[in-house]
């Protein structure tokens, strides 16, 4: 797998912490900087030390996250370790198993290393809640080491004495010939209690005035009902070809991949874009 110059030193530092400290290790990596690529490098070296180790990667509680990591491994073969997706209960003897928390709770196993993506979503539940999914996983599986991946480390930073934290910020990434970040236009549009249609009108007027690129637009709605309204307005008034990705429309997040393939101008969702979704061709976000 091709890796940027800043990813390898971070992978080395994180792996050293995994091998030497009993604390959960937190890797706080800024958006689009390559958590998956860094994780793969860590796993390559982790298995070199002991190929019999067992690792489970959990996509928090989002199918899209687990599938995205599996696709990263599949599209960058060969990797020097075996892996399987959504097969936590299978007898398949893969070194790395990728899935969701509930699958692991239903099929517990001893784990050398537990990796939790977008850890800020589920890990805080372990505080004073022995019935939370993460508490059950820790009790049932007793992982020897824990690696927490996040782009929003505030929870862990406030408790830095409890974690071995490694940060990667925008300032650590030098500009090179390879584009790391998406080409999103960032703009602030102030809307005061306007209707959805009026809000879209203000956004449209602002982006057109500034000549922002709307060829791959993502819209994040507050709920599914609003997402449906936004879709109707964008298609009928602005002639955009849209697709919706929510728990109601595609529980497996397949529409995100369809949008990324270029079949639509706009993807409308509720919260999936904020949970680790990688797409470097995204041009605008509302």
Q: pLDDT per residue over 178-202, tens digit each? A: 334 444 445 555 555 568 888 888 8
Q: How far apart are CA 119 and CA 243, in angstroms?
A: 28
Whether the per-residue pLDDT at 146 is higher than 90: the answer is yes
DSSP the chain: ----TTHHHHHHHHHHHHHH-SSPEEEEE-TTS-HHHHHHHHHHHHHHH-TT--EEEE-TT-HHHHHHHHHHHHHT---SS-EEES-TTS----SEEEE-HHHHHHS----SEEEETTGGGTGGGGTT-TTSHHHHHHHHH--SEEEEEES-THHHHTTGGGSEEEEE-GGG----SS--S--PBP-----SS--HHHHHHHHHHHHHHTT---TTEEEE-SSHHHHHHHHHHHHHTS---EEEESTTT-TT-HHHHHHHTTS-SEEEESSGGGTT---TT--EE-
Q: What is the mean pLDDT of residues 80-87?
A: 78
Whether the per-residue pLDDT at 2 is higher than 60: the answer is no
Q: What's the pLDDT at 183? A: 47
Q: What's the pLDDT at 286? A: 82
Read off the pLDDT band of 79 (50, 70, 90).
confident
Q: Output the pTM of the full model.
A: 0.67
Q: How far apart are CA 35 and CA 28, in angstroms?
A: 9
> What residues contact residue 223 under an 8 Å CB cut-off, 6+ apart?
270
**Residue 163, Cβ density class (10 Å: 0-12 exposed, 13-18 middle, ≥19 buried):** buried
Q: What is the mean pLDDT of residues 20-30?
A: 91
Q: What's the pLDDT at 279? A: 66
Read off the pLDDT band of 241 (50, 70, 90).
very high
C-alpha closest to that of 164 among 10, 3, 6, 1: 10
Higher pLDDT, residue 273 or 161: 161
Please report where in the chains the tokens 């709605």 appear, as a residue: 221
Q: What is the mean pLDDT of residues 33-45?
A: 87
**Residue 99, Cβ density class (10 Å: 0-12 exposed, 13-18 middle, ≥19 buried):** buried
Instruction: Give the CA distances from residue 23 to residues 11, 145, 197, in Å, rounded to whole numbers and listed in that order.
Output: 17, 8, 50
Tokens linked to 179? 């584009």
Read off the pLDDT band of 254 (50, 70, 90).
confident
Higher pLDDT, residue 208 or 89: 208
Whether the per-residue pLDDT at 130 is higher than 60: the answer is yes
Task: Return the percentage of the chain with pLDDT > 70, whole number.
Answer: 82
Q: What is the mean pLDDT of residues 68-93?
A: 74
Q: What is the mean pLDDT of residues 102-117?
A: 91
Q: How far apart are CA 275 and CA 286, in angstroms?
A: 16
Higher pLDDT, residue 250 or 28: 28
Cis amide leading into 238 (omega within 30): no
> What residues contact residue 215 under an 8 Å CB cut-off, 6+ apart?
265, 283
Tokens linked to 89? 């209960």
Q: What is the mean pLDDT of residues 9-23?
A: 94
Q: What is the mean pLDDT of residues 165-187?
A: 55
Whether the per-residue pLDDT at 121 is higher than 70: the answer is yes
Whether the per-residue pLDDT at 120 is higher than 70: the answer is yes
Neighbours of 143 (CB within 10 A): 21
Q: What is the mean pLDDT of residues 225-236?
A: 92
Q: What is the mean pLDDT of residues 126-130?
A: 84
Which has the minimum average pLDDT: 87-96, 144-153, 195-204, 261-270? 87-96
Q: What is the mean pLDDT of residues 113-133?
A: 89
Q: How far apart are CA 41 and CA 27, in angstroms?
A: 13
Q: What's the pLDDT at 50? A: 92
Q: What is the mean pLDDT of residues 61-78?
A: 79
Instruction: Give the CA distances from residue 37 to residues 29, 41, 198, in Å, rounded to whole numbers and listed in that order.
Output: 11, 6, 41
């Amino acid at each position: 797998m091709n890796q940027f110059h800043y990813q390898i030193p971070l992978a080395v530092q994180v792996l050293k912490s995994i091998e030497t400290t009993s604390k959960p290790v937190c890797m706080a990596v800024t958006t689009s900087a390559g958590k998956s690529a860094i994780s793969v490098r860590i796993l390559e070296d982790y298995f070199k030390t002991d190929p019999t180790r067992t690792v489970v990667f959990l996509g928090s509680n989002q199918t899209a996250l687990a599938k995205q990591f599996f696709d990263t491994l599949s599209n960058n073969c060969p990797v020097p370790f075996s892996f399987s997706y959504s097969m936590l209960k299978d007898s398949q003897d893969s070194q790395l198993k990728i899935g969701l928390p509930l699958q692991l709770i239903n099929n517990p196993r001893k784990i050398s290393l537990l990796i939790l993506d977008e850890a800020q979503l589920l890990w805080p539940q372990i505080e004073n809640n022995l019935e939370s999914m993460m508490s059950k996983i820790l009790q049932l599986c007793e992982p020897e080491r824990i690696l927490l991946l996040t782009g929003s480390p505030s929870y862990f930073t406030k408790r830095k004495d409890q974690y071995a934290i490694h940060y990667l910020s925008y300032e650590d990434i030098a500009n090179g010939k390879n584009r790391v970040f998406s080409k999103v236009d960032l703009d602030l549009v102030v809307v005061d209690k306007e209707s959805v249609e009026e809000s879209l009108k203000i956004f449209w007027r602002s982006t057109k005035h500034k000549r922002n690129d709307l060829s791959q637009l993502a819209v994040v709605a507050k709920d599914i009902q609003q997402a449906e309204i936004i879709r109707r307005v964008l298609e009928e008034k602005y002639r955009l070809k849209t697709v919706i990705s929510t728990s109601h429309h595609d529980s497996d997040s397949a529409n995100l991949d369809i949008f990324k393939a270029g079949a639509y101008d706009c993807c409308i969702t509720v919260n999936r874009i904020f949970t680790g979704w990688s797409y470097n061709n995204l041009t605008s976000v509302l």
